[in-house]
Structure 1
C-alpha cells in the first residue's frame, strides 16, 4: 500500500471536506468535496503522477501555472481534466468554486510505463481520461477499496494513452526545407491552446514556451499540421462552443464569451463556416 499522506502535498488556504483515499500497490485514488467557497489559493506538489478531474460542479474561474511555464485560465466544469507529472508543482487560484473532484495518482517508481516525457496539460474534452477517473471514483465509493488487478490494468491503459497522446500529429508531409515542430512540441501547443481557449490567444503565447520566434513558430506549425495556428484555434473554439450548446443552457452570447470570442456575431461566422448553420439553428436541430 502506498504512503497516501505523501503521494501529493496539497497546500490550500481552505482545505476541502469529505476526503476519500483508496490505494493499491502502484498508486491511489483520491477525491474530495468542496462546498461553495468564494476564493481559494494554494499549491499542489505531487510525488506521484497525478491525473485530476472535475466530477461535479466547478468554478467560475480556475487559474494555475506549473513548473515549466504551463498555464491555464478559464471556467471549470464537469469533464475538465488535467495532468501533473511527479515533482511538478502547480500554483492555483479558484473563484466561486463548488465541486467534487477525483484524482488518480500513479507511483512513478512502479508505473508500468515511463512517463518522463509527458508534460502537464489540461483539457475540457478528453472523454477517455475523464471516464477513467469517473469509473475509479464509482468503484472506490461503492466498495470503499480498489481491486489490485483492476488498478494495475487501468494504470497501464492510462500510461499508454498519455504516451501516445504526445505523439498524435496530423499526418502532413512537411514541405521540403520548411521548419517543423516535433511531435511533442505540437502536442504541447495543442495543450496550450486548449488551456487558453476561454481568452485571447496570441502567437507569442504559443511560440515563447518553445523558445521560437513568432514567425518561425507560425511556419513550423503550418508545415507540421497543415493548418495555421489561427485555423487550429478557431476550430477548437467552434468544437468547444458546440459542446456547450448541446450540454448546457447557456445563451449563444454566453457561449461565445466562454470560448474566447468577442460576441455572438463572431461565433456565428465561425460556426456557419464549420457547421453550415448558425449556433441557434444548430442547437434547435439537436432536439428534432
Structure 2
C-alpha cells in the first residue's frame, strides 16, 4: 500500500464478492452480504477508516470501540461510519443484507501531523457517501480501479475530513516554488508513457504527498492527476498530427484502452482523436 498498516477485518461469516484496490496512501474495499441472521467483526488499522453502507442494511448494529465510542441502532443505506487510526472497532449485526465499501486514508494523506478524529457510526454525510460510491462505481465499471484516480479522490476525501471533522482545522496551502514545479513538470513529460502516482511526484518535489497535492492545485489550478492527464492528451495530439494512429498515440502516452483515451481526448480538446489527424 505504500504505507504501514495494521488493516484487519474479521467478520463471521465472511462477505461475498469481495473487491479491493490499493494506491500510495490509501485502500478501497467493498463486498456484499446475503441475508444473514448474525455477523460479528473486528476492525483495527493504522489508517483512518471510512465505511459506507451502499445498499441494504441491518435491523440492528452494535458498535463498541476501545476509544470509547458506542452505538446501538439500525444500519441503513447511505450510512457513514468513521474509525480513527489505532482504534479497535467491534461490531455485531443482526438480520443484515447489504452491500458496503470502505476507504483507508494513511497518515501521509494529511500534511504534517495527522489531525485527531473522533469516531462515529451511521452518520448522514452526502459528500463522503457520494465519493465512496464513485470509487465503487469506477471499479465495477472498469473491473479495476485506476490507482491515480483512487489516489486523487482519497486526497480530496482527506482534505474534506480534515476540514469537516478534525479537532483542529488544517493549515492553509501555500504555493509551489518555481523550481519544484519545473522539476515535477520535467519528470511528468519524461514519463507520460507509464502510470504516475501522486506520491512519486511529491518525492520529486521533496514534499509530503498531502502537502504536495494541495499546493500543486493552489499553484496550477488543477490537481496533479488533472495535470498529468492534460499533458498526456497534449503529447498524444502532437503524435496524431505527426501521423500516428489512435492506438499508437494512446499507447505512447500510457493508455491501455483506446476507447478510454478517446473519451478523455474529446472531453479535453472538444473533438475526437481522428479530427486531430486531419489537421
TM-score range, shorter chain: 0.5 to 0.7
Matched, 1:104 2:103: yes
Greater shift in the superposed pair: 10-19 or 51-60 = 10-19
| Contact 1:115–1:159 (CA under 8 A) maintained in structure 2 | no
Find the counterpart in structure 2 of residue 217 from structure 1.
none
* 1: CA distance, partners of 2:3 / 2:168: 35
Matched, 1:41 2:40: yes
Deviation of the 1:96 alpha carbon: 0.2
* 1: CA distance, partners of 2:75 / 2:125: 14
| Contact 2:115–2:162 (CA under 8 A) maintained in structure 1 | no
Find the counterpart in structure 2 of residue 11 from structure 1.
10
* 2: CA distance, partners of 1:141 / 1:56: 15
Find the counterpart in structure 2 of residue 150 from structure 1.
149
Deviation of the 1:81 alpha carbon: 0.6
| Contact 1:22–1:144 (CA under 8 A) maintained in structure 2 | no
Find the counterpart in structure 1 of residue 205 from structure 2.
none
Runs of 4+ that moved beyond 6 A: none
* 1: CA distance, partners of 2:165 / 2:103: 19
Find the counterpart in structure 2 of residue 27 from structure 1.
26
Find the counterpart in structure 2 of residue 73 from structure 1.
72
- TM-score by length of structure 1 reads 0.54
Find the counterpart in structure 2 of residue 126 from structure 1.
125
Deviation of the 1:121 alpha carbon: 1.4
Post-superposition CA distance 1:94-147 (Å, at most 9, x none):
100010000111222x32445341121124321001001100000111123223
Radius of gyration: which is bigger?
2
> Equivalences for 1:51-70 in 2 at 5 Å?
51-70=50-69
* 2: CA distance, partners of 1:7 / 1:72: 23
Deviation of the 1:73 alpha carbon: 1.3
Across the aligned residues of Structure 1 and Structure 2, the Cα RMSD in angstroms comes to 2.3
Query: Structure 1's 45 and 61: CA in aligned 2 closer, same or farther, altered over 3 A?
Result: same
How many residue pairs match? The answer is: 168
Deviation of the 1:2 alpha carbon: 4.7
* 2: CA distance, partners of 1:10 / 1:78: 21
| Contact 1:24–1:146 (CA under 8 A) maintained in structure 2 | no
Find the counterpart in structure 2 of residue 165 from structure 1.
164
* 2: CA distance, partners of 1:123 / 1:94: 13
- TM-score by length of structure 2 reads 0.55
| Aligned partner of residue 20 in structure 2, secondary structure | strand
Post-superposition CA distance 1:205-251 (Å, at most 9, x none):
xxxxxxxxxxxxxxxxxxxxxxxxxxxxxxxxxxxxxxxxxxxxxxx
Structure 1, unpaired ranges of 5+: 168-181, 185-288
Structure 2, unpaired ranges of 5+: 170-279
Deviation of the 1:183 alpha carbon: 7.6
* 1: CA distance, partners of 2:86 / 2:15: 22
Query: Structure 1's 134 and 7: CA in aligned 2 closer, same or farther, altered over 3 A?
Result: farther
Query: Structure 1's 92 and 3: CA in aligned 2 closer, same or farther, altered over 3 A?
Result: same
* 2: CA distance, partners of 1:85 / 1:72: 15
Query: Structure 1's 147 and 183: CA in aligned 2 closer, same or farther, altered over 3 A?
Result: closer
